[in-house]
Structure 1
Amino acid sequence: MTAIDGVDPSVPPSGSGCVECDAAGGWWFHLRRCAQCGHIGCCDSSPAQHATAHWKATGHPLVQSYEPGEDWFWDYATNELYESGPELTPPSGHPSDQPAPGPADRLPEDWSRRLHR
């Protein structure tokens, strides 16, 4: 995967956590970064599934993992995994001292039972 229509490698991420979860005081399991606009949303295992909601609302199908040390991409439109892709503007993951799931101060005790599987 190199240059791809709809991917803007120059756009920085929208923050260090899920935009909507942060606004609502929620929590996430893992994070995904929109490869077109930089929106950070929570994964499909997370209670709110904001990355998928972002794709459905905007039509931006490609996300990259926003977990430290991961660089794979997922295409929601085709359900395809890409082991690598274009290098996006840093940072490539949330801060390494930020736990997953997170944020730690908002995790319910039974967080693992609340995951979508």
Structure 2
Amino acid sequence: MSCQHLKESGEPEPQSAYAGGCPQCVASGHEDWVHLRLCLSCGLVACCDSSPRQHMSAHHAQTGHPVMRSFEPGETWRWCYEDEQLG
């Protein structure tokens, strides 16, 4: 099955630098984020589901933005929340 969200996802400029960590975690005094993800709808950078606060999943739940990609150096894989597909 082919995912239209993955096909149509863009590549926005990140709203924050990788080196800064998860902006939401840092703003609340936490440094225990695990990996970063980039929302391919708006460019938000947030922590992954292996992180305690799972900010990227929360962003999807709040906005409905369907696709994120890994923001880890050297990784380009994408995930569609709507279709639960890796791309």
| Structure 1 contact 19–39 (Cα < 8 Å) conserved | no
Q: Is 2:71 aligned against 1:71?
A: no
Aligned structure 1 segments of 4 or more residues deviating by more than 4 angstroms? none
Distance 1:19 1:80 in 2: 26
Provide structure 1 residue ranges, at least 5 long, that are not aligned to the other structure.
83-117
2:29 counterpart letter in structure 1: G
Root-mean-square deviation (Å): 1.7
- 1:55 partner SS: helix
TM-score of the aligned structures, taking structure 1 as reference length: 0.62
- 1:53 partner SS: helix
The equivalent residue for 1:60 is 65
Residues 1:76 and 1:3: Cα distance change in structure 2 (over 3 Å): closer
Provide structure 2 residue ranges, at least 5 long, that are not aligned to the other structure.
none
The equivalent residue for 1:13 is 14
TM-score of the aligned structures, taking structure 2 as reference length: 0.82
- Count of aligned residue pairs for this structure pair: 79
Structure with the higher fraction of residues in helix conformation: 2
Larger Rg: 1
Post-superposition CA distance 1:80-111 (Å, at most 9, x none): 001xxxxxxxxxxxxxxxxxxxxxxxxxxxxx
Percent identity (aligned): 46
Distance 2:23 2:40 in 1: 15
The equivalent residue for 2:27 is 23
- Tell me by how many angstroms 1:8 deviates: 3.5
- Tell me by how many angstroms 1:3 deviates: 5.1
